[in-house]
Chain A
Amino acid sequence: MSIRERLSGNEAIAYAMKQINPDVMGAFPITASTEIPQYFSTYVDNGEVDTEFIPVESEHSAMSTCIGAEAAGCRAISATSSCGLCYMTEMLYVAASDRLPITLAVSCRALSGPININNDHSDAMGVRDTGWIMLFAETNQEAYDNYLQAMRIGEAVGLPVMICQDGFITSHAIENIELVEDDKVKSFVGEYKPAHYLLNKDEPMAVGAYATPVYYMEAKRQQAQAMIDAKSVIRKVGAEFGEMTGRSYSLIEKFMMDDAEEAIVIMGSSAGTAKQAVKELRAQGKKVGLVKVRSFRPFPSEDICAALAGVKAFAVMDKDDSFNGHCGPMFAEVASSMFAAGICGPKGISYIYGLGGRDVRVESIQKVFAELEQIADTGVTGETYRYLEVRE
């Protein structure tokens, strides 16, 4: 029987870490993820896990120690937020190119400046091209479930995995949660058995070569292939997790999309708010729906195209901005996916929302749907780059 509990998102992640009992954790505190290493070091000091905890002097060193430990042959984990994620960015690229399946919990938070400790996705979006698999959670339950799947996915394709949740909104809010029993977690996650590792006395190994132009591009192509391959692995592991728990996962989640004429694409905790907006509009007879992106990397282009091909208008909600002068980063991904697939019918707009913890309410999302309805009716898109509920 699964265990019913009430946990914050950070507690849920720390609990998943405890159940997995990885070999090494290197971490540095930063709001909103600070509690994760706090909870975890309590498990360590009370002997509830036998993980080696390295209380490093910075996030850069947190990721550096993880790279060293994972290359040495261990499961290595960390947790961070915001500027901490920025500070380890250089090492995120190395972790991915060294093909080290490290697991990093991210409690997403805005970036300076102005300095702000609340939630948006600027930190995660800033590292979207580092070569990490990135899974986003709507709820504490999903954050926990995603974490339990992370090592299976990362180790299968040889890529590191970021498990993202929304800072404070899920990281600190306490929700009901169903925990998986320890023995089931252990057998689901399994043992880490790398093919090659530094501490193998029978086969010395060299990691982190200098690659000239003759070899560099092949290394990158293999990384690209691993990310492509990750799509089917995420689906497979998500289905297997569903068999164990009754909660299945894929790359995206479609909500009331079957006959939808207007849709929004959204990621993270706001999907919950948006689902409520969709339900209320459906009750009024509006044909609206929602696509929640769970896997941002790899980006589920085929699934999104299939979901949006039949709509008249859609909005992609970005909780961050690219500052490219025309759209948010997820809009760019969605639009390029559809254009590449030859789907040019639906009208799309980019919405920037919820920056630095700006509250997103059911009515906020309904406003977006009202605009989509107008676009669908008139065929006139107007300004495609919009900010939601901002003083201008």
Chain B
Amino acid sequence: MAYNLKENLEKGERLCGGHRMCAGCGSPVAVRSVLRALNPEDHAVVCSATSCLEVSTFMYPYTAWKDSFIHNAFENAGATMAGVETAYRAMKKRGKIDGTWKFIAFGGDGGTYDIGFQSLSGAMERGHDMVYVCYDNEAYMNTGIQRSSSTPHFADTTTTPAGSVIPGKIQQKKNLTRIMVAHNIPYVAQTTFMGNFKDIEEKAHKAIYTPGPAFLNVMAPCPRGWRYPSEKLMEVTKTAVETCLWPLYEVVDGKYSLTYEPKKKLPIEEYLRLQGRFSHMFKPGNEWMIEQVQKEVDRNWDELLQLCSLGAVAAR
């Protein structure tokens, strides 16, 4: 069935409005896109790690989630969903449940790249039939913009302030998507929302309906942490993709393939300039920082193209 955004939007929201996420935040956009990929007749249990998403959508006595939902703690969305999914198999085996249920866990980059990484790794390795979605906003936003292992090089955060001696975060971003590929799970994809949401929704559908564990890494910008005007959300994600900083690709049974190739790779300044967290990189004398980041983007992109060409060779 050909992708049609209009039809998808008519499916009805599974995360309803009225929650307290900021305007211009990428997280609920990511969540709604992923949940739209569920077949409307299927049931789901959704889990969220402790995060902005959790505290803003399930503040007692209200919940914005139409499906069954569980929040447990910051670092264990993987294990928690594994428990729910196992319960489903146990009940199914004993004839106590019918219908199709799907299991989707959401975590920010703090709960996924860092404190929740062990729990995620364990759940993926054990092969639970679930999807883990990281909404990656590249810092611990819920506690007030502290660096994570996902924070990009030189970004100004409250624990890596751009100081007079140390110019922001001195480490590069961890490549979690590729680490998840190394778990030998059937489906891993990196995506974000741009244009008609085709890329994220198709990947979410594959992730949800591929038997076994699947991982989606979704760039989900944060207007407060990244310091862009909230109406520029879609411009930020699009530029991340067009500069090849955040390539859209998927890895099916270990084979990499690009799902979108920019016609003309834009220089990284165009991405960095949109965001206050990189503003110190544009001060006179700091040109080397932008050059450095450009080199890193080029290297990562070239590596990815090589991995994709290996996949193409293998497919032949």
Residue ranges of A at the interface with B (Cβ–Cβ < 8 Å): 23-24, 26, 50-52, 54-58, 60-61, 64-74, 76, 90-91, 94, 198-201, 204-212, 215
Q: How far is the CA of A383 from the CA of B66 in the complex (A)?
A: 62
Interface centre among B68, B81, B119 (most CB of A within 10 A): B68
B201 at the interface (CB under 8 A from A): no
Check B91–A58 contact: CB distance below 8 A: no
Query: Cβ of B79 and Cβ of A207 under 8 Å apart?
Result: no
> On chain B, which size bracket covers the interface?
35 or more
Whether A209 lies near B87 (C-beta < 8 A) is: no
Known: A24-B83, A204-B66, A209-B71. A74 touches B91 (CB 8 A): yes
Task: Report whether A68 and B60 are in contact in the complex, using a CB–CB cutoff of 8 Å.
Answer: no
Q: How far is the CA of A205 from the CA of B126 in the complex (A)?
A: 26
A-B contact count (CB 8 A): 167
Contact B68–A206 (Cβ < 8 Å): yes
> With A and B bound together, what is the CA distance between A73 and B86 in angstroms?
11
Quick check: A23 and B88 within 8 Å, CB to CB? no
Q: A58-B122, A91-B73 are in contact. Are A69 and B79 (CB under 8 A)?
A: no
| Residues of chain B within 8 A of A209, CB atoms compared | 58-61, 63, 71
B234 CB-CB contact with A under 8 Å? no
Once the chains bind, are A68 and B83 in contact (CB under 8 Å)?
A: yes
B101 close to chain A: CB less than 8 A: yes
Is A210 a contact of B118 with CB atoms below 8 Å? no
* Distance in angstroms between the alpha carbons of A51 and B93 in the assembled complex: 10
The 5 closest A-B pairs by CB, nearest first: A68-B83, A72-B87, A65-B83, A57-B122, A208-B71
Q: Helix, strand, loop or mixed for chain A's interface?
A: mixed
Selected contact of B72 from candidates A55, A91, A206, A215, CB within 8 Å: A91
11 sample A-B contacts, Cβ–Cβ < 8 Å, listed by A number: A24-B87, A50-B93, A54-B86, A64-B82, A65-B83, A68-B70, A74-B87, A198-B87, A205-B69, A208-B70, A209-B63
Which one of A65, A73, A207, A208 lies within 8 Å of B82 (CB-CB)? A65
Given A52-B90, A210-B54; A198-B68 close (CB under 8 Å):
yes
Closest to A212 in B: B59
Q: How far, in Å, is A269 (CB) from chain B's closest CB?
A: 32
A-B contacts besides A51-B90, A57-B118, A69-B87, 14 pairs, CB < 8 Å: A26-B83, A52-B93, A57-B119, A61-B123, A64-B72, A65-B79, A68-B72, A70-B83, A74-B91, A76-B87, A90-B73, A199-B84, A209-B59, A215-B61
Q: In the complex the two chains form, is A64's CB within 8 Å of B79's CB?
A: yes
With A24-B90, A72-B88, A208-B71 known to touch, is A57 a contact of B63 (CB < 8 Å)?
A: no
Once bound together, how far apart are the Cα atoms of A199 and B96, in whole Å?
Answer: 10
Q: Which of B58, B87, B89, B126 contacts A68 (CB 8 A)?
A: B87
Q: Who on chain B is nearest to A216 by CB?
A: B60
A198 touches B86 (CB 8 A): no
Does B209 have its Cβ within 8 Å of any Cβ on chain A? Answer: no
CB <8 Å contact, A207 and B69: yes
* A residues less than 8 Å from B122 (CB atoms): 56-58, 61
